[in-house]
């Protein structure tokens, strides 16, 4: 006889918002942050060398996602020029620091 399983959306929603799920999302975000810091470029000629590298931060919430129904964690860089480091400009090549960090560190 085959086993039966009935899905309860309310139960799945509660599971996705559990403190343990939020803690795991934050743990993964910290791994990605560490990888991003390790691969961040440092311009020794700038007025504040290493500012970009020190500006990585993480945050988490239990009400994230498109519908605000699940635990999520965010990794972001607070420096004003982080967008240009990530995606590049006409004169500066893209470094894709966050992209590469997420690809290598997100599964650990």
Query: Hey, how many other C-beta atoms are within 10 angstroms of the C-beta on 105?
Result: 20
3-state helix, strand, coil in the chain (%, to 5): 45, 15, 40
pLDDT of residue 9: 84
Give the closest residue to 69 by CA, choosing from 22, 20, 7: 22
* Distance, CA of 21 to CA of 3 (rounded, Å): 27
Q: Write down the pLDDT at residue 10.
A: 86
Q: Which residue in this structure is represented by tokens 């560490």? A: 34
pLDDT at 107 over 80: no
- The string of pLDDT tens digits covering residues 10-27 is 888 888 999 999 999 999
29 pLDDT tier (thresholds 50, 70, 90)? very high
How would residue 106 be classed by pLDDT, with cut points 50, 70 and 90? low
Q: What is the pLDDT of residue 5?
A: 83
Phi–psi pair at 73, nearest 5 degrees: -135, 150
Could you identify the residue written with the tokens 């999520």?
72
Tens digit of each residue's pLDDT (9 = 90 or more) over 53-105 = 999 999 999 999 898 989 999 999 999 999 999 999 999 899 999 999 999 87
């Amino acid at each position: 006889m085959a086993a039966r399983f009935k899905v309860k959306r309310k139960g799945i929603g509660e599971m996705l918002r559990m403190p343990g799920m939020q803690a795991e999302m934050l743990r993964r975000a910290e791994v990605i942050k560490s990888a991003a810091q390790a691969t961040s470029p440092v311009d020794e000629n700038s007025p504040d060398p290493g500012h970009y590298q020190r500006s990585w931060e993480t945050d988490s919430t239990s009400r994230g996602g498109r519908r605000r129904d699940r635990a999520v964690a965010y990794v972001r860089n607070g420096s004003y020029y982080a967008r240009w480091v990530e995606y590049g400009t006409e004169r500066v090549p893209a470094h894709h620091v966050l992209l590469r960090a997420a690809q290598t560190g997100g599964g650990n």
